[in-house]
């Protein structure tokens, strides 16, 4: 059986840093049938590839022994948030997942036995607390408060009953240290003896042995406070993306059998018709059946300007209907709507480590044992070599042990990456993993598709030339012929007429002539609208008209000639125009030192006309394999290439590039095909991704400098005798909180205006 045949995502509470993730990863891999394991402390999730022999409840219990709580699990395509454990002991109730494990039953007696076993294993003991709900209600907060009260009581007893010192402080220390030591022991049993809990336990017990019980109790309390603060900071990154889920309303107005009734949004089926009132959020992805309104799509695309939409247009769950009542046909189930897919993709992205993050993880495996060795040398070398007091140098060695805790170092990279992925997703820029985010900052060249990427993908009327008639009359006659047509050029003409407030009457006897155009009658007037060559066979062109048509064609425009009663009545030129922000987007990339090139299958004349207006190079009349070859050639020349396209006909080139970026409006293609996706279709967001990537890497460098810099300063001051155990734990806790808070600044990142 292939271990990757099944994939399950666990929701784990209290997992605040990469050190937590490493322990959970190791414990999970020890279970039978488990293949790949990807853990994201920032998302609070774990993705496990496994076969049918794997006991998922056993994995939950193993994680519980480490001091964490599995809130639920579900197949990778579903949300583990919906699969809740009963009583926290690992009985899971998600539907659609095969739990027919050997020797594993779900009867009441089995549940009771597992509950007792979990209790004995410590699953109901110390955990890291829920990620939701009030802070004081978490197990971590309760333990910190209990330890603080015990420390305060010990201090008062020592003041009024001196005989209780040091025993009162030892008891206060034990309140917090026993759960920490249990976690250290559980980690050691799975082959991870060098954890933060181990360092803390050794330092606290060592301090008691040398008579520093008061400091030992204070250090344990400060450690718990630091963990609590770390959890709060990590929770911000988690909440920032999960908050998107609250944008989708819980109920919907279902239209059925001529009646409208309110139903839960999650029960809506494909093809169902729903009614959305002005001011309501749309409860499901769908297509407008009737009604025209403005839709605020900021929750999905980050675009602040509402879009005008009518029958046939797609709408997304969580967006806001502003103007009028609309009827919508549901096109995606609740678990597959745009918001759900964005959340799922970001969580999956947070499970994929960036190269820098993998290096830091690898480095930390050697760093922690190295710190323990240095602490040991500090404790024993001076007394042995110089005859210095043992208690003084053991004290300093214990302080070095605390200073060297790797938490701040290991959290420095994943915290920044998680915050950036969340910030990007909330603004319509999806990046699938830390490797993609890191790679975007190194891009030196961007290869753009033309149609639908640099341009809107829809022709618009650019020129109207009336011959013997006004522009308005020419457009009105042309629009009358095209009424009811769905051809892209016809839609361009009808759209221009609507924009100008021209209400054209439909022509009579309308007939399409293949390869030429369309004929019809407006009253007594016989009309033809079509290609210049076909029009020339029906009417004599006045002097200069052919030159004018040639000039319009030279600008990459398609020209239709209107003939009325065998006389030329006017010209209408159309072109797929560049997006409004295309020029700005290319300029922004240039300012970042990134060059741009257009790769298109369109004709050279049209491509050149668009490229000149954008100030970029163009390579035209390319087949998909040609685009792939050109991208490969650019990479071979030493360029770091990003390919931007629609994710379908550009698939070979997207795969060949260092980073593939899909342009789209929340479609399956935009979300699933490439390494990254620009949901709102803004060209400037490609540059925005590069800027965000570079800001993230700068933030990571700052975090590493803070983590290592503070440790270096306090190690020196500790050896010199300036600082002791209290400042040591504050150095570690402070560095962890500082780097996490610094990373969280990226949550407020916004793309350039």
Q: Does residue 570 come out as left (phi exceeding 0), alpha (psi in the -120 to 50 range) or beta?
A: left
* SS3 at position 647: coil
* SS3 at position 525: strand
Q: Which of 361, 449, 675, 732 is catalytic?
A: 449
What's 680's DSSP letter?
Answer: T
**Cβ pair 441, 693 in contact under 8 A:** yes
**Cβ pair 321, 283 in contact under 8 A:** no
What's 620's DSSP letter?
Answer: -
Q: How far apart are CA 644 and CA 661, in angstroms?
A: 5
* Residue from 46, 20, 412, 15 nearest 192 by CA: 20
Catalytic, 449? Answer yes
Q: Tell me how many degrees the CA angle 35-41-46 measures, rounded to the nearest 5.
A: 30
Distances (CA, A) of 94 to 30, 141, 352: 24, 29, 25
Taking residue 278's Cβ as centre, other Cβ atoms within 10 Å add up to 14
Distances (CA, A) of 693 to 234, 381, 592: 20, 46, 12
What's 415's DSSP letter?
Answer: H
Q: How far apart are CA 332 and CA 581, in angstroms?
A: 31
**Cβ pair 237, 415 in contact under 8 A:** yes
Q: Both tokens of residue 706?
A: 């803070």
Q: How far apart are CA 271 and CA 253, in angstroms?
A: 14
Place of tokens 């009358």: 480
Q: How far apart are CA 56 and CA 73, in angstroms?
A: 9
* Residue from 312, 318, 305, 266 nearest 290 by CA: 312
Positions marked catalytic: 449
């Amino acid at each position: 059986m292939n271990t990757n045949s099944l994939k399950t995502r666990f929701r784990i509470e209290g997992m605040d840093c990469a050190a937590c993730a490493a322990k959970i990863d190791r414990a999970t891999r020890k279970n039978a049938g488990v293949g790949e394991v990807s853990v994201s402390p920032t998302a609070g999730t774990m993705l496990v590839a496994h076969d049918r022999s794997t006991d998922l409840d056993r994995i939950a219990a193993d994680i519980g022994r480490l001091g964490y709580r599995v809130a639920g699990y579900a197949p990778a395509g579903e949300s583990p948030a919906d699969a809740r454990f009963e009583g926290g002991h690992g009985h899971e109730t998600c539907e659609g997942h095969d739990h027919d494990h050997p020797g594993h039953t779900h009867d009441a007696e089995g549940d009771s036995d597992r509950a007792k076993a979990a209790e004995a294993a410590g699953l109901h003991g110390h955990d890291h607390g829920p990620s939701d709900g009030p802070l004081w209600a978490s197990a971590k907060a309760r333990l910190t408060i209990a330890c603080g009260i015990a420390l305060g009581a010990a201090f008062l007893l020592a003041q009024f009953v001196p005989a209780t010192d040091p025993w009162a402080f030892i008891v206060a220390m034990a309140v917090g240290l026993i759960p920490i030591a249990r976690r250290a022991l559980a980690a050691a049993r799975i082959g991870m003896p060098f954890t933060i809990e181990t360092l803390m336990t050794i330092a606290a017990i060592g301090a008691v042995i040398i008579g520093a019980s008061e400091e030992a109790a204070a250090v344990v309390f400060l450690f718990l406070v630091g963990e609590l603060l770390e959890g709060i900071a990590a929770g911000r990154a988690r909440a920032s993306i999960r908050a998107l889920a609250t944008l989708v309303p819980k109920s919907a107005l279902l239209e059925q059998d001529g009646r409208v009734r309110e139903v839960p949004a999650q029960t809506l089926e494909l093809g169902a018709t729903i009614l959305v009132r002005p001011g309501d959020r749309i409860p499901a992805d769908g297509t407008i059946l009737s009604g025209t309104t403005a839709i605020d799509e900021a929750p999905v695309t980050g675009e602040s300007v509402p879009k005008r939409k009518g029958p046939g247009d797609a709408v997304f769950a969580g967006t806001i209907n502003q103007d009028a009542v609309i009827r919508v046909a549901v096109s995606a189930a609740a678990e597959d709507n745009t918001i759900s897919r964005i959340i799922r993709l970001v969580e999956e992205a947070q499970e994929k480590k960036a190269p820098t993050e993998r290096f830091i993880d690898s480095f930390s495996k050697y760093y922690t044992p190295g710190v323990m060795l240095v602490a040991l040398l500090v404790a024993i070398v001076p007394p042995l070599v110089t005859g210095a007091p043992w208690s003084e140098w053991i004290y300093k060695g214990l302080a070095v042990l605390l200073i060297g805790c790797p938490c701040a170092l290991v959290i420095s990279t994943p915290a920044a990456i998680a915050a950036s992925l969340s910030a990007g997703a909330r603004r319509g820029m999806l990046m699938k993993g830390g490797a993609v985010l890191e790679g975007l900052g190194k891009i030196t060249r961007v290869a753009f598709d033309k149609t639908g990427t640099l341009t809107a993908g829809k022709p618009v009327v650019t020129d109207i030339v009336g011959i013997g008639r006004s522009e308005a009359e020419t457009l009105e006659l042309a629009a009358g012929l095209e009424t009811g047509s769905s051809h892209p050029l016809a839609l361009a003409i009808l759209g221009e007429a609507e924009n100008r407030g021209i209400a054209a009457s439909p022509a009579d006897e309308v007939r399409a002539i293949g390869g030429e155009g369309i004929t019809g009658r407006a009253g007594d007037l016989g009309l033809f609208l079509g290609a210049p060559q076909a029009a020339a066979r029906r009417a004599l062109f006045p002097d200069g008209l052919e030159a004018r048509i040639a000039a319009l064609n030279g600008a990459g425009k398609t020209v239709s000639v209107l003939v009325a009663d065998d006389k030329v009545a006017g010209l209408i030129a159309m072109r797929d125009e560049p997006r409004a922000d295309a020029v700005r987007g290319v300029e922004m990339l240039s300012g970042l030192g990134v060059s741009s090139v257009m790769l298109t299958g369109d004709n050279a004349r049209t491509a050149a006309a668009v490229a000149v207006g954008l100030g970029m190079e163009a390579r035209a009349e390319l087949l998909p394999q040609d685009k792939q070859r050109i991208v490969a050639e650019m990479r071979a020349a030493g360029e770091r290439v990003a390919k931007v396209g629609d994710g379908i006909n550009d698939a070979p080139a997207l795969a060949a590039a260092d980073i593939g970026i899909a342009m789209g409006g929340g479609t399956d293609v935009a979300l699933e095909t490439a390494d990254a996706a620009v949901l709102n279709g803004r060209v400037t967001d490609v540059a925005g991704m590069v800027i965000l990537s570079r800001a993230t890497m700068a933030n990571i460098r700052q975090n590493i400098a803070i983590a290592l810099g503070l440790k270096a300063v306090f190690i020196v001051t500790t050896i010199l005798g300036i600082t002791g155990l209290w400042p040591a734990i504050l150095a570690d806790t402070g560095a962890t909180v500082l780097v996490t808070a610094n990373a969280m600044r990226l949550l407020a990142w916004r793309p350039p205006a």
